[in-house]
Amino acid sequence: MRKTAILFFIIAISLIAGCTTKSENTSDSSGINQTTDELILSVGGEPEDGFDPTTGWGRYGSPLFQSTLLKYNKDFDIQSDLAEHYEVSDDGLIWTVAIRDDVQFSDGEALTAEDVVFTFETTKESGSVVDLSNMENVEALDEYTVQFTLTKPDSTFIYLLVTTGIVPKHVYDENYKEQPIGSGPYQLVQWDKGQQIIVERNPLYYGQTPFFNKLTFLFLSEDAGFAAAKAGEVDVVSVPSTFANQEIPGMELIQLASVDNRGVMFPYVPSGKVTEDGLPIGNDVTADEAIRKAINVGVDRQALVEGVLDGYGTPAYSVADHLPWWNPDTVLEDNQMEKAKEILDEAGWKESDEGVRVKDGKEAAFSLLYPADDQIRQSLSMAFAEMMKPLGIAVTTEGKSWNEIEQLMYSQPIMMGWGSHDPLEMYNLYSSSTRGIGYYNSNYYFNPTVDEYMNLALRATSEEEAHDLWKKAQWDGEEGFSAKGDAPWAWLVNLDHLYFVNENLEIGEQKIQPHGHGWPITDFIEDWHWKE
């Protein structure tokens, strides 16, 4: 029997406040109840910026409360949501979107083209993580037709139509992030800050009616969430790999593949220059292509998966493994220590008596920085450093705050993590036009051929054409930004996203998950149901 006061349970096990109720129902000996139309989940932290799509809510996973113009299916095919259809002009600058005329917000007001215009204008003005700088104008051609005008062609604009939830112009104000109204499958009915949100089915939703009427999302630490699951108090809980080998009666472990990757970013240019803010640029060791290629060939990615991720992950070879724009030819045979040594020998890196290679009086040595509060990145960094010793490359590891990393990331290797459902991420990381812009191309990588492929990909007017060009930018058989080409990164692992799920709950097939463990699992939550 489900308890009706989880608050007291959570306080007892973790001293973290959390309260929710679930009606008492008859359940079997495992605590499983298939008669209820409610679920309790602990799958992610509390969104710091609330539930406002104009400032980034819903970029990873479903906006839940809002609808989007387009959406992905489980195979990353783009399908209609609010949009009935869209057209792109031959020059790629004009996007015309016709929307449904039968959609209402959860307060009963009709959703029209004016709401779409308002959403995208507000998003652009917000200066948030949602980058609409290339949108020159958006206007309503009529009540249900919207036209976007871009400054320059951008095939990836379509992914902003997939991820940006539409907000209502008539009630949007400074409080919207805490009191969202939308046209999505669910509506927010209660938010207990620091503890939980309670959402209920939106009776005006135009799409498939969700099976579950009520969802309660608890904001718990990993330890507290796991303890709540063991006590039968939650139906779905996200867990780190350290908990994955344990058993919870009545629950099964679900492993979801992801592009939530980790890898080493190498400063690509020699030292000697500084940014506009006076920060050092470049590293004389990692600027040598032989160092970068030897590391990519010599590192044992599978050993990192087994040793650091407890087997719950996959070797990573790019920032977008297995996504539609990924080039599978970027996969290389790693853990080839002898080949890696040959690369270094041929490039003039000779091993000294101390076991560290030297070239032109410079040792093959560098510091690898990682965020001090990130245990996985720390463990990866330390394991990576050990793997480099037989190569004669001396790597010291240092935990730093993000503020410190921001001062050093143009000149020192960093254990980074990315992973998006948008190929624009590749452009941001590898384009010469983004060098030195925040966390993007902070290693100052550049290759004119890669730039040309990516610029053509942006100007493409079909997904198929764009995908082919993104793949060539990674590796065209002769050059590219992958490890087979210039190797400005050593991508190491993709994390599996792990959840314990009520064994009688069917969540269906999921997409490859993006960076960020937790909320993305809600992407198809309207399809969840009890198994028959």
pLDDT band at residue 429 under the 50/70/90 scheme = very high
- What letter does residue 174 receive in the DSSP assignment? T
pLDDT band at residue 516 under the 50/70/90 scheme = confident
Looking at domain 1-46+193-258+496-532, its CATH class is alpha beta
Percentage, residues of the chain above pLDDT 70:
93
261-494, CATH topology level: Dipeptide-binding Protein; domain 3 (3.10.105)
Q: Give residue 17's pLDDT.
A: 34
User: Is a pLDDT exceeding 70 seen at residue 90?
Assistant: yes
pLDDT single digits (tens) 73-82 = 999 999 999 9
For helices 289-298 and 337-346, give the axis angle rounded to 10 degrees.
Answer: 170
In this structure, of 59-63, 97-101, 356-360, the range with the lowest mean pLDDT score is 59-63
pLDDT single digits (tens) 323-382 = 999 999 999 999 999 999 999 999 999 999 899 999 999 999 999 999 999 999 999 999
Q: Domain 52-181 carries which CATH code?
A: 3.40.190.10
**Rounded Cα distance, 31 and 22, in Å:** 13
Asked whether this chain's domains 1-46+193-258+496-532 and 52-181 adopt the same fold, the reply is yes
User: Is a pLDDT exceeding 50 seen at residue 13?
Assistant: no
Find the Cα–Cα–Cα–Cα dihedral 116, 122, 127, 130, rounded to 10°.
Answer: -20
Question: Residue 349 is which amino acid?
Answer: W
pTM of the model: 0.90
**What are the Cα distances from residue 512, in Å, to 77, 321, 324, 423, 489?**
13, 9, 11, 14, 22
User: Is a pLDDT exceeding 80 seen at residue 162?
Assistant: yes
Question: What b/e string do you get for 338-356 counting C-beta neighbours within 10 Å, with b at 16 or more?
Answer: eebbebbeebebeeeeeeb
**What are the Cα distances from residue 189, in Å, to 9, 174, 178, 200, 215?**
23, 18, 10, 7, 10
**Rounded Cα distance, 104 and 206, in Å:** 8
Instruction: List the domain boundaries for the chain.
Output: 1-46+193-258+496-532, 52-181, 261-494
* Mean of per-residue pLDDT scores for the chain: 92
Q: Give residue 9's pLDDT.
A: 43
**Rounded Cα distance, 235 and 228, in Å:** 9
